[in-house]
Chains A and B, each alone.
Chain A
């Protein structure tokens, strides 16, 4: 890269990847490409029993993906700052509450109300891992993956340590989006570290920045093609396959943020 502006862009190392979507409960399963029809529900394996019961399908997928990335990256779940991204958060729980109140005329469920907040998954993750440090929960429609990476850049710069980014969204109840816009459940996580010359990673990512020509993204199942977090899946896929090039983080549906992926041999 000879562009001086490119040299000034932030850069991070990817040290671990996590994926959860129906049929593919891990990053190796995703790369293997054979969907397991028995995988329909994330386990939420790092949650204690009570919080696993509380967690939504999205919440369990997010914590499973985060746990996989943390293990792969060798980071301490009890101290690592976490960024959870979701365009719609716990929308299914929220619509369920509205249905309870206005269609069924029942009293609102206090448990459902508590779990309807966008940061339910980040809260459950911090409780389960006994992490008393930083966590946040963010949204930016189809630019959520880029926003999560920007948060990670700030955190890695401030702390000099690792950060785990996890983005996911679940299905939206049918009446609210057009048929062509519907998508399934997906969660993707990256364990990231500052590119400080001391940490080993499987890839370096440079950016986000706008412009340039991204490489052609992976073919995806129909249920993921319009997913708000598909850009993070494209990035994770490029890292896992050791593919060099520019990855668009919004599949053309957002502000155009991209990152450059450079595979590292010692990762």
Chain B
């Protein structure tokens, strides 16, 4: 162990929502039983694929918030409910002006805008209840979260594609360290839309079947939706602690990963350096593991180089699909589950493993004492984030 550069940041509450369910119990049950949330899409597309759609009921936004009601905002509202008790405690402890909202999304209101656009093509004008500023913009949902959470600190959305909701953990940590904030709601969300599915299909990145990260017959990704929120505070009794976050760039290609995973390796190293931890102290990796040939191979090489071949590795995207801008926060929540529950789910359908993946990819539920977990997220733009969590 070397000297950490900052203090661990307690996560005093967190909540998650995805294709496996809307509650911790539903999600844990599916993860333990190896039950995927991936299904054929409800709306027909010109190609075959599987998607991870959220089936849990989402609250309507009413009264003054009604004009902001989109699927994205309703997901945010659903995720605020389980945080009610820790948020109430935080508001009693810290002034509302000192609690920030730092979230991530890659799609923002694209799903709503796409529906409005189709309507405009059919009828000549945008629907009368469509409001670009309140329903499309990246910042629109911030207003909903601030209002429902009763906080008044600085608020912004990070949009770095598939690392969007992992980066807020680092931003909040820096601003708490700098004395600007005492607490922050972090995390993020994304929704399914045909434009995203069609775009990934055009790139040749979508698998027609449910995705199989690290498997020898993997053919690409499945797209999902969902979100996760966490409350981080300057101090307090954390259920888990953010011990380090590494953020790097590949500086290589706008949509392809660095072939040797150089940026991914640098992000994991930076997270360990910030925490003052050695590679041998990592007990589990929740990999980015999208299921594309290039991504999985590059990430596997980076993990093996830094942590060796024995650390248990799982990609949970076979359960939820790749939830894009929400993946970072959802997988931080899954990493927190591993620490709190003492088991990790299988990497679904990874068997038989690609022989070129030099890792201990778990293909069944594995019990253990997972005190320190790395969660990886990588994105278009060559953006890489690795979050190191640890037990209190």
Contacts and interface: CB of A to CB of B under 8 A. Distances in A.
Task: Decide whether A and B assemble into one complex.
Answer: yes
Interface of A: 8, 10, 51, 54, 87-89, 91, 94-95, 97-99, 101-103, 107-110, 113-120, 122-124, 126-127, 129-141, 143-144, 146-147, 150-151, 153-155, 157-158, 172, 175-177, 181, 208, 255, 257
27 contacts: A87-B138, A88-B137, A89-B138, A91-B136, A94-B110, A95-B113, A99-B117, A102-B114, A108-B195, A117-B380, A118-B161, A123-B382, A123-B383, A127-B382, A132-B249, A132-B263, A133-B248, A135-B249, A135-B383, A136-B160, A139-B138, A141-B137, A143-B139, A175-B120, A175-B126, A177-B133, A257-B154
Interface residues of B, number: 63
Given A98-B117, A127-B382, A157 B178 contact: yes
User: DSSP majority for the A interface?
Assistant: helix
Contact of A122 (B108, B137, B154, B160): B160
Contacts of A154: 171, 174-175, 177-178, 180
A101 B249 contact: no
Contacts, number: 203
Contacts of B175: 150, 153-154
Interface in B252-301: 252-255, 262-263, 266
Contacts of B137: 87-88, 139, 141
Contacts of A131: 249, 251
Contacts of B199: 97, 108, 110, 113-114, 116
Among A8, A127, A150, A257, residue most surrounded by chain B Cβ atoms (within 10 Å):
A150
A230 to B, nearest CB: 15
B381 interface: yes
A8 B133 contact: no
A114 B198 contact: no
Contacts of B195: 94, 97-98, 101, 108, 113
Interface in B87-119: 106, 108, 110, 113-114, 117-118
Given A51-B254, A114-B203, A133-B249, A122 B381 contact: yes
Contacts of A109: 202
B198 A101 contact: yes
Contacts of A119: 159-161, 379-381, 383
Contacts of B159: 89, 117-119, 137-139
Nearest to B382: A123
Given A123-B382, A155-B174, A118 B138 contact: yes
A266 to B, nearest CB: 26
B156 A147 contact: yes
B248 A134 contact: yes
B250 interface: yes
B290 to A, nearest CB: 15
Nearest to B247: A134
A97 B201 CA distance: 14
B139 A87 contact: yes
A133 B263 CA distance: 9
A106 to B, nearest CB: 11
Contacts of B263: 132
B160 A147 contact: no
Which residue of B179, B195, B266 has the most chain A CB atoms within 10 A of its CB atom?
Answer: B195
B134 to A, nearest CB: 10
Interface in B188-231: 194-195, 198-204
A51 B252 CA distance: 11
Nearest to A156: B178
Given A118-B106, A155-B174, 12 more contacts: A91-B136, A119-B159, A119-B383, A123-B381, A127-B251, A135-B381, A136-B160, A139-B159, A141-B138, A147-B156, A158-B177, A257-B154
A47 to B, nearest CB: 11
B80 interface: no
Contacts of A118: 106, 108, 138, 159-161
B391 interface: no
Interface in B117-171: 117-118, 120-121, 125-126, 132-133, 136-140, 142, 154-161, 167, 171
Contact of B174 (A89, A116, A157, A257): A157
A37 B84 CA distance: 55
A141 B140 contact: yes
A141 B139 contact: yes
Contact of A120 (B139, B178, B262, B381): B381
A141 B177 CA distance: 26
A150 B100 CA distance: 11
A110 B198 CA distance: 9
Contacts of A177: 132-133
Contacts of A123: 249, 254, 380-383
A157 B173 CA distance: 11
B254 A157 contact: no
A258 to B, nearest CB: 13
A137 B160 contact: yes
Contacts of B106: 117-118
Contact of B156 (A110, A130, A135, A144): A144
Nearest to B160: A119
Contacts of B118: 102
Q: Which 7 A-B pairs have the closest CB atoms?
A: A123-B381, A154-B174, A113-B199, A139-B138, A147-B156, A118-B159, A141-B139
A108 B204 CA distance: 12
A88 B382 CA distance: 21
